[in-house]
């Protein structure tokens, strides 16, 4: 709006108020952004104040009830004095784990196998070679594809419950997953390049069990 002239701003017919619609009743309500805002028109002189008032409403006032409810729930689990020990980056690390390359040796030590696969199975060995060739971003995508979380547990994969599992699926199918049990359903593909291509395809498809 800052590049609009006075006439164009007037044509927008804006006021210092916002309208909300109740999705359950289809009833509309109007909220003033400033005292008596519904009677104050936006013009080229007060347009900056309107922008700030609008941002404050949507980013602070409108979400205040939800933010307070979230904070009460969080402090019920973790007392607020404990939270004050950490900055935002440290808190994100504690909750979400670390970013970057996966510790593949740790993941391998804490992986289980099913339906005919075992740690020395040729397909499993090819899979680990393929995973080692992935970029950190691709490794995170594969972890998200299998577990629904792109970051490893803070204390290592030994804390992942259920354990990461590689399950032999039917030949001729794409790799798929069951994120509820952290299971990668891997068909018996014996060609390195083909397995790599198919894994990259599925982890970039934003799909999981649907590929079954």
Residue 167, classed as helix, strand or coil, is strand
Q: List beta partners, residue 166.
A: 113, 184
Separation between Cα atoms, residue 188 and residue 209, nearest integer Å? 17
Separation between Cα atoms, residue 203 and residue 31, nearest integer Å? 45
Tell me the catalytic residues: 180
Say if residues 64 and 27 touch (Cβ distance below 8 Å): no
- Residue 181 sits at φ, ψ, to 5 deg, of -125, 15
Residue 33 CB burial class (10 angstroms; 0-12, 13-18, ≥19): buried
Pick from 150, 55, 44: which is nearest to 96 by CA? 150
Say if residues 142 and 131 touch (Cβ distance below 8 Å): yes
Separation between Cα atoms, residue 79 and residue 185, nearest integer Å? 41
């Amino acid at each position: 709006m800052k590049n609009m002239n006075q006439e164009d701003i007037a044509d927008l017919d804006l006021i210092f108020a916002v309208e909300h619609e109740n999705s359950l009743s289809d009833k509309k309500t109007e909220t003033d952004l400033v005292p008596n805002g519904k009677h104050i028109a936006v013009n080229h002189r007060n347009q900056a104040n309107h922008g700030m008032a609008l941002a404050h409403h949507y980013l602070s006032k409108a979400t205040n009830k939800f933010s307070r409810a979230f904070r009460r729930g969080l402090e019920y689990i973790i007392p607020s004095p404990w939270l004050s020990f950490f900055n935002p980056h440290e808190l994100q690390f504690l909750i979400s784990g670390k970013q970057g390359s996966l510790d593949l040796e740790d993941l391998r030590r804490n992986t289980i196998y099913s339906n005919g696969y075992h740690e020395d199975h040729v397909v499993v060995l090819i899979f680990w070679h393929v995973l080692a060739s992935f970029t950190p971003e691709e490794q995170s995508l594969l972890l998200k594809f299998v577990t629904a979380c792109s970051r490893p547990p803070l204390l290592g994969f030994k804390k992942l419950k259920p354990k990461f599992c590689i399950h032999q699926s039917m030949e001729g199918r794409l790799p798929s997953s069951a994120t509820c049990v952290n299971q990668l359903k891997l068909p018996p593909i014996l060609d390195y390049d083909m397995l790599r291509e198919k894994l990259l395809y599925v982890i970039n498809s934003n799909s999981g069990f649907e590929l079954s």
